[in-house]
């Protein structure tokens, strides 16, 4: 999503004025039975989440579904959570693989419907840590089916960093790297307002006097300090990333040496024998726990429910985790998958769940009765920072 296309993103954050409960007191209904498939299903998804073997023939969890269900899968990839919210607001889609910084906005905006988990036999196999997660569960109602989760890691060039960097300071603070050159012009940052939380997580440890406890709950003083850090970082960043495949090309061609990223890009670059590796630095990492959500006006509800069940199969979960570098929402997928291997879940961070600050939408009313800076302000300020150079 280009800078000037943020107009629709700003409009999408307006739903944050709505309370984070089901809006307007509307009486909700949920699907009571699954009927004959409608022939297709349309999904808004993160890049790499819905594969049919076009990139690598070994990774295909769409073709067999289409054959067995009679439902053709149409995919629209989105680069940021804001873009996903905007697309769902526009309508015309059945499902979305929403992260925690988008899911509650979709519930608050009345854009998604409650999921009837009784119609999804594999729901019982979902990781208990995810079944009632607050980013898709509101007032005891489920609005999403857990899909995958994982951290936002620090990717680095192994030729420049003979030893792995230990801190996020390599992308936030100007410094001379091990090759004797400055990091200025050689680092990237994520092109999305939620990245403000990454800077907050860094300052939580770098400047403990700020008293930051939660990177998504920042009072005005804490928030201003984070924004100042991001303004300084702007002088280091030649190009922000939001498209995973473009970032892969940037690391191959643009002389970049460090950036926040998803394990997906790391896997692709390592697969191409590029000199990169990744790490979760000492400050920890933000992360994402994605849920597949059903649009309230879906025209292909039966096919959508068939996909929701398919998405939880151990084969799909394991293959996707192997491809993306993520962690399955179904623990049984961690064993017996030829692509993931029996150690893949551990490598991808299965045991680090408690160490990740999962994406969620910042609200004005935060813990302890404090007043915090809401997401709408995050979006406005981050767009201003990116466009300032």
Contacts of 112 (CB under 8 A, 6+ apart): 88, 96, 106, 143, 144, 293, 294, 295, 296
The number of C-alpha atoms within 13 Å of 345 and in the hemisphere containing its C-beta is 21
- CATH class held by domain 153-261+361-387: alpha beta
pLDDT in tens, 333-345: 999 999 999 999 9
What is the sign of the dihedral through the CA atoms of 16, 20, 23 and 28?
positive
Q: What pLDDT was estimated at residue 279?
A: 93
Model pLDDT, residue 166: 96
Residue-level pLDDT at 17 = 39
pLDDT (0 to 100) of residue 389: 64
The dihedral through the CA atoms of 105, 107, 109, 113 has a sign that is positive
Q: List C-alpha distances in Å: 349 to 5, 135, 153, 176.
A: 34, 20, 11, 31
- What are the pLDDT digits (tens) for 169-220? 999 999 999 999 999 999 999 999 999 999 999 999 999 999 999 999 999 9
What's the pLDDT at 3? 34
Q: Tell me, what's the pLDDT at 65?
A: 98
Angle among Cα 340, 343, 347 to the nearest 5 degrees reads: 90
221 touches 210 (CB < 8 A): yes
CATH 3.40.190.10 domain span(s) along the chain: 40-150+288-358
> Which long-range contacts (C-beta less than 8 Å, at least 24 apart) are formed by 271-276?
275/157, 275/158, 275/159, 276/155, 276/156, 276/157, 276/158, 276/251
pLDDT < 70 regions, the chain: 1-28, 389
- Please check whether the domain covering 40-150+288-358 is classified as CATH 3.40.50.720: no
SS3 call for 255: coil
18-37 confidence digits (pLDDT tens): 334 334 344 567 888 999 99
Query: What pLDDT score does 251 carry?
Result: 97
């Amino acid at each position: 999503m280009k800078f000037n296309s943020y107009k629709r993103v700003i409009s999408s954050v307006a739903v944050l004025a709505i309370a984070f409960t089901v809006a307007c007191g509307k009486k909700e209904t949920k699907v009571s039975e699954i009927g004959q498939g409608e022939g297709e299903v349309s999904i808004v998804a993160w890049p790499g989440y819905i594969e049919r073997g076009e990139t690598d023939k070994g990774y295909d969890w769409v073709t067999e579904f289409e054959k067995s269900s009679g439902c053709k899968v149409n995919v629209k990839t989105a680069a940021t959570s804001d873009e996903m919210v905007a697309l769902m607001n526009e309508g015309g889609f059945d499902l979305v693989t929403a992260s925690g910084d988008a899911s509650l906005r979709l519930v608050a905006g009345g854009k998604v419907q409650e999921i009837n988990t009784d119609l999804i036999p594999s729901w019982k196999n979902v990781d208990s840590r995810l079944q009632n997660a607050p980013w898709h569960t509101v007032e005891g109602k489920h609005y999403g089916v857990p899909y995958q989760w994982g951290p936002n890691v620090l990717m680095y060039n192994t030729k420049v960093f003979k030893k792995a960097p230990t801190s996020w300071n390599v992308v936030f603070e100007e410094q001379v790297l091990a090759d004797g050159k400055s990091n200025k012009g050689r680092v990237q940052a994520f092109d999305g307002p939620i990245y403000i939380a990454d800077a907050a997580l860094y300052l939580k440890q770098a400047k403990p006097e700020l008293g930051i406890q939660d990177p998504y709950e920042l009072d005005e003083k804490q928030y201003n300090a984070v924004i100042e850090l991001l303004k300084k970082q702007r002088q280091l960043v030649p190009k922000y990333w939001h498209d995973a495949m473009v970032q892969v090309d940037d690391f191959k061609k643009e002389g970049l040496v460090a950036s926040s990223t998803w394990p997906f890009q790391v896997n692709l670059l390592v697969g191409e024998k590029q000199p990169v590796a990744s790490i979760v630095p000492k400050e920890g990492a933000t992360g994402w726990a994605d849920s597949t959500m059903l649009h309230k006006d879906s025209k292909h509800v039966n096919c959508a429910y068939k996909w929701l069940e398919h998405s939880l199969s151990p084969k799909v979960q394991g293959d996707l985790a192997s491809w993306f570098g993520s962690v399955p929402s179904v623990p049984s997928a961690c064993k017996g998958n030829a692509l993931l291997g029996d150690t893949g879940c551990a490598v991808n961070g299965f045991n680090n769940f408690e160490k990740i600050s999962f994406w969620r939408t910042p609200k004005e009313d935060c813990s302890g009765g404090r007043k915090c800076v809401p997401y709408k302000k995050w979006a406005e300020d981050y767009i201003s920072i990116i466009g300032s150079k």
